[in-house]
């Protein structure tokens, strides 16, 4: 108990801790009391103490007595289990309407392995704040119970899966909802559960809520600049808003990376470098470097360094990563000189730029043809001493030779934010050939950016979500196909 003086001081400062409101159950485990279905009236049932979906599309709205089914600031917790292929979700700040889809509010996605409708492949995984802050990696297994926690305070939405924070969205001022979804603005309303279609088999065993104070903690509200809006647009249009090429450099921790990822709305692939001249040169060292990243809401990436990495690490260990990438910025010239082309001192003087360019192209073709990689990064890099001649050196014939090799070996091409490569001509040729793309930073430290160059090239080249690469499932990774 606070002493009188302490009580007066905390009241004066407005800092007295308020006791947490009790949890209130929205599902009684026996009936649909308090819930009203829209569309199909037979999709939602109670069986074995569980609220289950199985049938035609139907959204089930909470219309019960708790807070008159009108919630502004709250913490909602559901325990759910989704069968293979299930597409479901939890809506908040919505209202009952007997229409095909709720017309207002936000959805938090439940989609471990759902595939989407004809002509569409769903990229947004369980935990996504749908089309606003998307999660692109499957973090929950099918047919396993998981806990999803949704916390809304003022202009802030946080989503946790099994206790791990994966979404931390602060609505900007003014709001910037996706095009065609003007209703996705934080306000107030009820909850709804989604039964997307007849393939959806989702079960809920607990649904509970506790209200939070109307006065939400102050947060720094972002300004919706052009990049912010473009990232929202791309996510809504099913682009994987992912930076697949992030390094923990310059003292940057995984916690700091995750904080920036959530703030910017860009999912990250964290890469570990391994190979000659790097601290990681054995399977044991690679596993040790990987261990702190496992279980984190990021893609796990390995970057092979030099040309020796292929014979340095085992396919069994490499297959524990979501994908593997490399570049051709380290190679040995025809006269036996090993160089790293981003280090001017190692490159030295280049007397014949055209001949050296032929060597670069030759090495790129060998890398993408022979090394077990999913993505080719820093794709058209040339040494600084040649950079002013980039567009003259990358002739249509040289570009086509590289693109043909990339296409033949099923490799994706990175659009690199740090070096701003490839240029538009290469991207257009690669798109025409059917080569998929990724966005990547290759940050030198904390200077991440927000994929601005990739966004620019997506627009300029007319790329669609179908042109963008996503990691392959286990068994189809490059190291599993090529390192048998």
Nearest to 256 by CA among 298, 301, 295, 304: 298
Cis peptide preceding 174, ω within 30 of 0: yes
Euclidean distance between the first and the last CA atom of the chain, given in angstroms as a whole number: 67
User: Vertex 222, ends 216 and 227: CA angle to 5°?
Assistant: 150
Output the six-digit token pair for 385. 């001493």
User: Tokens 């003007």 appear where?
Assistant: 182
Greatest C-alpha distance within the chain: 84
Q: What is the pLDDT of residue 145?
A: 98
Least Cα distance to 177 among 188, 166, 168, 186 occurs for 186
Structure tokens at 19: 């006791």
pLDDT of residue 3: 45
Coil, strand or helix at 235:
helix
Q: Which CATH architecture has domain 239-482?
A: Alpha-Beta Barrel (3.20)
* 8 Å CB contact between 122 and 218: no
Q: Look at residue 347 in the predicted model and tell me its pLDDT.
A: 95
> Regarding the domain with residue range 21-211, which homologous superfamily does it belong to in the CATH classification?
Exo-inulinase; domain 1 (2.60.120.560)
Q: What string of pLDDT tens digits covers the 484 residues of the chain?
A: 344 444 444 444 444 556 789 999 999 999 999 999 999 999 999 999 999 998 899 999 999 999 999 999 999 999 999 999 999 999 999 999 888 778 899 999 999 999 887 789 999 999 999 999 999 999 999 999 999 999 999 999 999 999 999 999 999 999 999 888 888 899 999 999 999 888 889 999 999 999 999 999 999 999 999 999 999 999 999 999 999 999 998 889 999 999 999 999 999 999 999 999 999 999 999 999 999 999 999 999 999 999 999 999 999 999 999 999 999 999 999 999 999 999 999 999 999 999 999 999 999 999 999 999 999 999 999 999 999 999 999 999 999 999 999 999 999 999 999 999 999 999 999 999 999 999 999 998 877 899 999 999 999 999 999 999 999 999 999 999 988 6
Q: What's CA 356's distance to the chain center, in Å?
A: 38
Q: What angle do CA 484, 292, 265 make, to 5 degrees?
A: 95
Lateral strand order in the sheet of 412-416: 242-246, 267-275, 299-305, 323-326, 375-376, 412-416, 437-440
Q: Give this prediction's pTM.
A: 0.94
* 117: β partners: none
Q: Alpha helix (H) ranges present in 201-281?
A: 226-236, 254-264
Cα gap 215→384, rounded to integer Å: 55
The residues that bridge with 339 in the sheet, in sequence order, are 331
Strand 50-53 to 44-47 pairing: antiparallel
Going from N- to C-terminal start, the domains of the chain cover 21-211, 239-482
Instruction: Count CB neighbours of 325 within 10 A.
Output: 27
The Cα–Cα gap between 158 and 177 comes to 17
The reply to whether domains 21-211 and 239-482 share a CATH topology is: no
The span from the CA of 391 to the CA of 423, in Å, is: 8
């Amino acid at each position: 108990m606070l002493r009188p003086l302490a009580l007066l001081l905390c009241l004066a400062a407005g800092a007295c801790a308020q006791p947490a409101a009790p949890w209130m159950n929205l599902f009684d485990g026996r009936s649909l009391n308090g819930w009203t279905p829209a569309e199909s009236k037979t999709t939602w049932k109670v069986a074995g103490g569980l609220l289950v979906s199985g049938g035609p599309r139907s959204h089930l709205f909470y219309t019960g007595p708790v807070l008159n089914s009108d919630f502004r600031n709250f913490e909602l917790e559901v325990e759910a289990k989704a069968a293979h292929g299930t597409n479901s979700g939890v809506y908040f700040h919505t209202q009952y309407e007997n229409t095909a889809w709720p017309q207002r509010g936000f959805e938090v996605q439940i989609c471990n392995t759902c595939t989407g409708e004809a002509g569409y492949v769903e990229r947004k995984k369980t935990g996504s704040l749908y089309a606003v802050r998307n999660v692109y990696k499957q973090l929950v297994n099918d047919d396993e119970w998981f806990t999803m926690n949704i916390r809304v305070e003022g202009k802030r939405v946080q989503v946790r899966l099994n206790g791990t924070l994966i979404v931390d969205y602060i609505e900007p001022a003014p709001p910037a909802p996706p095009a065609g979804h003007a209703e996705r603005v934080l306000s107030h309303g009820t909850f709804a559960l989604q039964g997307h279609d007849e393939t959806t088999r989702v079960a809920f065993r607990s649904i509970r809520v506790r209200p939070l104070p109307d006065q939400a903690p102050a947060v720094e509200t972002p300004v919706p600049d052009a990049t912010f809006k473009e990232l929202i647009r791309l996510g809504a249009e099913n682009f994987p808003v992912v930076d697949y090429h992030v390094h923990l450099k310059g003292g940057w921790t995984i916690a700091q990376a995750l904080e920036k990822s959530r703030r910017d709305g860009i999912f990250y692939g964290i890469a570990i470098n391994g190979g000659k001249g790097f601290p990681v040169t054995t399977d044991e060292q690679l596993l040790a470097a990987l261990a702190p990243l496992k279980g984190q809401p990021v893609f796990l990436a390995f970057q092979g360094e030099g040309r020796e990495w292929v014979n340095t690490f085992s396919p069994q260990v490499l297959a524990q990563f979501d994908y593997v990438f490399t570049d051709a910025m380290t190679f040995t010239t025809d006269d036996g000189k090993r160089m790293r082309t981003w280090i001017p001192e190692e490159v030295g003087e280049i007397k014949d730029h055209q001949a050296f360019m032929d060597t670069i192209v030759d090495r790129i073709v060998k890398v993408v043809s022979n090394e077990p990689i999913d993505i080719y990064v820093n794709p058209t890099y040339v040494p600084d001493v040649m950079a002013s001649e980039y567009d003259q050196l990358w002739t249509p014939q040289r570009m086509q030779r590289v693109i043909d090799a990339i296409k033949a070996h099923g490799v994706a091409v990175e659009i690199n934010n740090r070096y701003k490569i490839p240029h538009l001509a290469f991207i257009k040729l690669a798109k025409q050939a059917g080569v998929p793309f990724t966005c990547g930073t290759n940050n030198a430290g904390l200077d991440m950016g927000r994929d601005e160059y990739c966004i620019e090239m997506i627009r300029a080249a007319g790329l669609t979500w179908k042109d963008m690469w996503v990691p392959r499932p286990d068994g189809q990774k490059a190291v599993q196909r090529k390192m048998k």
